[in-house]
Structure 1
Amino acid sequence: MSSFGVRGMSQPLGIRICCCRICTCINFGFVLSRAGLLKLMQLGLAMLCEGLLIRYGVPYADSIGQALTSFLATTGHCFATNGILLMCYCFSEKSYGLIRQSLFETLFNALASCMYFSSSSYMGFACVIWLHPQFLVRPGFWAYPAMTACYYMGYAAGLLHAIDAFLAFKQFRGMR
């Protein structure tokens, strides 16, 4: 019986080619599960935010200030932790059963959600106060739209982490 407890997760590991399976060390069933898709979306949003912050935010760090540092720290830490968890879950079904039902997943996702919401709010404030006036007077000033997109994606990432925290808490309590 699969410890994932999710429909479709107890399928054979790896990729089927003709009459054999390759890459049997990878559990693709997790990636296609609800928790796996949440992790992939969280990683994708963190990667997009990090890219926008580095490409468009860092050159204007003096204007944005600590909002940039806060958002960079949030996306960097959440990306790294989610990446490690995703790799553990993809390569070890036992890891998923042990880590997911522990308090770590619940606390990590709850904290990540709070961090995303607070750093997105701070970035939104910095965008309106410092970047928007420059956007109105400087042609080709792409920092404002990029940072605006970044903090909107930060709110979305915070929401995804809140949902993941709720699901992890249900699993921690044994409610599935």
Structure 2
Amino acid sequence: MASFGTRSMSQPPGIKICCCRVLTCINFGFVLSRGGLLKLMELGLAMLCEGLLIRYGVPYADSIGQALTSLLATTGHCFTTTGILLICYCFSDRSYGLIRQSLFETLFNAIASCMYFSSASYMGFACVVWLHPQFLVRPGFWAYPAMTAAYYMGYAAGLLHAIDAFLAFRHFRGAR
């Protein structure tokens, strides 16, 4: 059987309710493993960041400029790809072995990490240069704190993707 992180998949699939098992098509062993929890954290950060960007950043897109577009594109693409990988891994333990041992996930996570770091840095610059002065003079201007939180979450997501890239590379090289 395949091994996901520190847990093994020797347990039967699904959830045991009374005398039967339900949802046996879902591989909960992966979701509770180190790799699964890492993917869930990546998805959560991307979702929170995307929500802040849409709710508070889009109305001030003319002030923020391309920094908003850059971080929105990064979170959207990384959320989609990570979500697809998580779904594949949850429904097929064979997918985990095939995709993880290929170079795809290592490259995806390394590129996602670089994209998050660069777009978060750009958003940080935009916040300091264009949003902070407005925050100082306009009461109730929530775009600055929200965009600051978004670019901090972008840095955190970049760090998670860097860790995932390192783990995927180790798996690719054969060291689990």
- TM-score interval, smaller chain: over 0.9
- How many positions carry a matched residue from both structures? 176
Unpaired segments of 5 or more residues in structure 2? none
Partner residue, 1:46: 46
Residues 5 and 154 of structure 1, relative CA distance in 2, 3 Å threshold: closer
Partner residue, 2:153: 153
Partner residue, 2:90: 90
Amino acid at match of 2:160: L
Q: Distance in 1 between matches of 2:59 and 2:155?
A: 23
Q: Cα distance, 1:113 vs. partner? A: 0.1
8 A contact 2:4–2:29 mirrored in 1: no
Q: Secondary structure at the match of 2:44?
A: helix
Amino acid at match of 1:53: L
Q: Cα distance, 1:154 vs. partner? A: 0.3
Q: Distance in 2 between matches of 1:105 and 1:85?
A: 9
Q: Cα distance, 1:8 vs. partner? A: 3.7
Amino acid at match of 1:142: W
Q: Cα distance, 1:37 vs. partner? A: 0.3
1:52-131 aligned at under 5 Å gives the runs 52-131=52-131
Q: Secondary structure at the match of 1:141?
A: coil
- TM-score, with length taken from structure 1: 0.98
RMSD in angstroms over aligned alpha carbons? Answer: 0.9
Q: Distance in 1 between matches of 2:149 and 2:98?
A: 36
8 A contact 2:120–2:154 mirrored in 1: yes
Amino acid at match of 2:44: G
- Identity of matched residues, %: 88
Q: Distance in 1 between matches of 2:46 and 2:126?
A: 19
Q: Cα distance, 1:101 vs. partner? A: 1.2
Residues 2 and 57 of structure 1, relative CA distance in 2, 3 Å threshold: same
Unpaired segments of 5 or more residues in structure 1? none
Q: Distance in 1 between matches of 2:7 and 2:64?
A: 46
Runs of 4+ in 1 over 3 A off after TM superposition: 3-6
What do the CA deviations read for 1:120-159 (whole angstroms, capped 9, x no partner)?
0000000000000000000000000000000000000000
- TM-score, with length taken from structure 2: 0.98
Partner residue, 1:144: 144
Deviates more, 1:138-147 or 1:8-17: 8-17
